[in-house]
Amino acid sequence: MDGQAFGHDAPFYLPQGDECDIFAAAHASHLPLLLKGPTGCGKTRFVAHMAARIGRPLHTVACHDDLSAADLIGRYLLKGGETVWVDGPLTRAVREGAICYLDEVVEARKDVAVVLHPLTDDRRILPIDRTGEELHAGPGFMLVASYNPGYQNILKTLKPSTRQRFLSVDLGFPAPAHEVPVVMRESGIDESRATLLVRIAGKLRALKGQDLEEGVSTRLVVYAAVLIAGGMGFDRAVRIAMIEPLTDDPEIRAGLLDLVAALAG
Ligand SMILES: Nc1ncnc2c1ncn2[C@@H]1O[C@H](COP(=O)(O)OP(=O)(O)OP(=O)(O)O)[C@@H](O)[C@H]1O
Ligand SMILES: [Mg+2]
């Protein structure tokens, strides 16, 4: 498996396509990268894998609707009666020439975009107004952002002026031929049960938009497989890892359980 081949420290990641080459090329060319894809499709794992392969430290920021520019850049804090400047994760990444991963970047407050713009075009600078510094990002620095287009709503979407500063890669749900080895490797279960779990996942994903808001993620398929590897019965593991997390509606749940029973035979 490809993911294993790179260094001892790189977490396992099985590429879906040419995303590893794209990431490496983006890093080498000093260009930022946007990863699009549903929850649990491997975005975070991919970034961790590539950071290890490229050999740069990784600073991950989980963006939320209260995340401000100051949270990324840093702030003055009181320490032992003195006011000291403390770098935020973005500033630290720029100083270190690290990879900064902004997870679910659309969630962040609007002032974050203002900070990202000069850093994601050819200037590659981070002005820190509070300290009067202007940092120039070195060759090691890279900004990676992710977002899940499925959660997008009218209020939360990336402005074209932000979006068009990033190269973009779409990581959708993996094809079965790709997901089966991921599930086997992550859990240790055999191929026949992994194949059945992935087949069930495929059927559940086909219901997205009808009964389900979001298809079952690879993460949940791995959870089911891990439970099975730990000795739990197949049906029970599927129910608690792959059905219950998808819906609170008892009727839909019953329908999904019937579907699984038919597939698992
Ligand atoms: N290509 C892959 N190679 C190896 N493991 C994978 C791959 N895709 C998914 N996984 C597995 O799925 C799990 C979830 O992936 P990850 O946490 O990277 O998802 P994500 O896209 O970051 O999700 P979210 O948007 O919810 O943060 C991983 O812990 C791993 O077990
Ligand atoms: Mg993630």
Gap between the Cα atoms of 144 and 85, Å rounded: 25
Same domain, 142 and 218: no
Return the best residue to mutate from 4, 14, 44 for the ligand 1 pocket (most ligand atoms within 8 A of CB). 44
Last residue of a domain, one of 110, 137, 170: 170
Cα 180 to ligand 1 centroid, rounded to whole Å: 13
Q: Is 36 in the pocket of ligand 1 (CB under 6 A)?
A: no
Q: Is 90 in the pocket of ligand 1 (CB under 6 A)?
A: no
Say if residues 186 and 228 touch (Cβ distance below 8 Å).
Answer: no
Where do runs of H (alpha helix) occur along the chain?
Answer: 19-28, 43-54, 69-73, 89-96, 110-120, 160-163, 176-187, 191-205, 218-229, 234-238, 250-264
Phi/psi of residue 33, each to 5°? Answer: -130, 135
Predicted local distance difference test score (pLDDT) of residue 2: 40
Instruction: Compute the average pLDDT of residues 130-151.
Output: 91
CATH at residue 40: 3.40.50.300
Residue 12: pLDDT band (50, 70, 90) is very high
Q: Is 43 in the pocket of ligand 1 (CB under 6 A)?
A: yes
Element (H, E) at 85: strand 82-87
Residue bearing the CA closest to ligand 1, atom 1: 14
Same domain, 204 and 161: no
Gap between the Cα atoms of 234 and 212, Å rounded: 22
Nearest to 51 by CA among 2, 100, 96: 100
Q: pTM of the prediction?
A: 0.91
**Structure confidence by residue, pLDDT tens digits, 73-104:** 999 999 889 999 999 999 999 999 999 999 98
Residue bearing the CA closest to ligand 1, atom 3: 13
Cα 46 to ligand 1 centroid, rounded to whole Å: 7
- Comparing 214 with 153, the larger pLDDT belongs to 214
- Find the ligand nearest to 148 CA: 1
Predicted local distance difference test score (pLDDT) of residue 3: 41
Same domain, 20 and 135: yes
Predicted local distance difference test score (pLDDT) of residue 264: 83
Ligand 1 atom with minimal separation from the 186 CA: 31
- Comparing 220 with 107, the larger pLDDT belongs to 220
Residue bearing the CA closest to ligand 1, atom 7: 42
DSSP state of 4: G
Same domain, 237 and 202: yes
Instruction: Compute the average pLDDT of residues 100-124.
Output: 90
Same domain, 41 and 73: yes
Mean pLDDT for the chain overall: 91
**Structure confidence by residue, pLDDT tens digits, 206-245:** 888 777 778 899 999 999 999 999 999 999 999 999 999 9
DSSP state of 167: E
In terms of residue numbers, what domain contains 186?
A: 176-264
Say if residues 174 and 218 touch (Cβ distance below 8 Å).
Answer: yes
Count of structural domains, the chain: 2
Where do runs of H (alpha helix) occur along 56-190?
Answer: 69-73, 89-96, 110-120, 160-163, 176-187
Least confident of 39-48, 123-132, 202-211, 250-259: 202-211
Q: Is 38 in the pocket of ligand 1 (CB under 6 A)?
A: no
Ligand 1 atom with minimal separation from the 11 CA: 4
Answer yes or no: is pLDDT of 153 > 60. no
Residue 148: pLDDT band (50, 70, 90) is confident
